[in-house]
């Protein structure tokens, strides 16, 4: 995976961020979701580097990036802090403005990034998510059953940590089986990477990511709502036609509550669009980020 990419780590204050970089053209930052790493993008980066300088990184708490010690308010794993890491990474690489595409948790980091750094993000694509605020504030029995992990992972330390840690491979297989619609979509190389990185430290950090989303992140979102602060850059939202998000939400309408320039549509497959529908995902990103 990521042949010919430069693979490196960079220290940003007390945090180390793992990333790969290659390509030519305007900078594009790719952010992964849970419970994965930057490896989720491996099928589509060959097509992206023809038009962009692609940076695919591991979020703090995931992959080979730092897993900092948390606090009672979960601030170190707030999307604000996670977004700041990625902005500093891009600046360190010489990119003061850039495009961003985020899948799952990476989309939530991109959402916060576009709000906190409006003059830096040129365009934003979010993959198979509705806004966090919407999903928590409108939660019902249907949502709780489909997204049970949102309520499981936020339980106090160390309940989910111990339960996942007892059999990480079982948990990983169950997650991919629940959200994905094509188990053959995950290559051995990528799956092995996800297994390698699901360490006790990552399990704890990822729980903190979710605990932050249910607490401090909601507060940050509420502040933006109260202040009528909206995303300035154009937004693309795409989702899996066989997944939950597109069935449950009017995805475009929900993102229009956060930005004035929104477009979106469903693609074949389930939740893991870059792996389940790589050709369609690549074309959607190119159409929006490069040709549009």
Active centre residues (catalytic)? 104, 271
Q: How far is 87 from 79, CA to CA, in rounded Å?
A: 12
37-42 long-range contacts, Cβ below 8 Å, gap at least 24? 37/62, 37/63, 37/64, 37/193, 37/194, 37/197, 38/63, 39/1, 39/189, 39/190, 39/193, 39/194, 40/103, 40/190, 40/272, 40/274, 40/275, 41/274, 42/1, 42/2, 42/187, 42/189, 42/190
Beta bridge partners of 31: 57, 102
CA-wise closest residue to 82 among 203, 216, 258: 216
Q: How far is 269 from 259, CA to CA, in rounded Å?
A: 26
Using CA atoms in the order 242, 254, 172, 197, what is the torsion angle rounded to 10 degrees? Answer: 130
- Contact present, 274 and 41 (Cβ < 8 Å): yes
């Amino acid at each position: 995976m990521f042949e010919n990419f430069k693979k490196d780590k960079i220290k940003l204050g007390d945090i180390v961020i793992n990333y790969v970089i290659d390509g030519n053209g305007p900078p594009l930052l790719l952010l992964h979701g849970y419970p994965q790493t930057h490896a989720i993008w491996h099928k589509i980066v060959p097509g992206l580097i023809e038009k962009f300088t692609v940076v695919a990184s591991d979020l703090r708490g995931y992959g080979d990036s730092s897993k900092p010690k948390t606090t009672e308010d979960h601030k170190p794993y707030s999307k604000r802090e996670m977004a700041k890491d990625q902005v500093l990474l891009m600046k360190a690489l010489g990119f003061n403005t850039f495009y961003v595409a985020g899948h799952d948790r990476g989309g939530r980091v991109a959402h916060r990034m576009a709000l906190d750094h409006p003059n830096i993000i040129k365009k934003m694509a979010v993959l198979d998510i509705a806004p966090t605020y919407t999903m928590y504030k409108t939660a019902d029995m249907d949502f709780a059953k489909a997204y049970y992990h949102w309520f499981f992972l936020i339980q106090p330390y160390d309940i989910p940590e111990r339960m996942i840690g007892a059999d990480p491979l079982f948990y990983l297989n169950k997650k991919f089986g629940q959200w994905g619609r094509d188990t053959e979509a995950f290559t051995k190389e990528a799956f092995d990477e996800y297994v390698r990185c699901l360490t006790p430290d990552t399990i704890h950090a990822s729980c903190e990511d979710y605990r932050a989303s249910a607490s401090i992140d909601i507060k940050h979102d509420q502040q933006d709502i109260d202040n009528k602060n909206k995303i300035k850059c154009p937004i693309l939202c795409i989702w899996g036609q066989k997944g939950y998000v597109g069935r449950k939400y009017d995805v475009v309408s929900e993102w229009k509550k956060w930005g004035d320039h929104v477009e979106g549509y469903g693609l074949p497959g389930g939740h893991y669009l870059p792996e389940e529908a790589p050709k369609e995902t690549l074309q959607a990103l190119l159409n929006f980020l490069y040709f549009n």
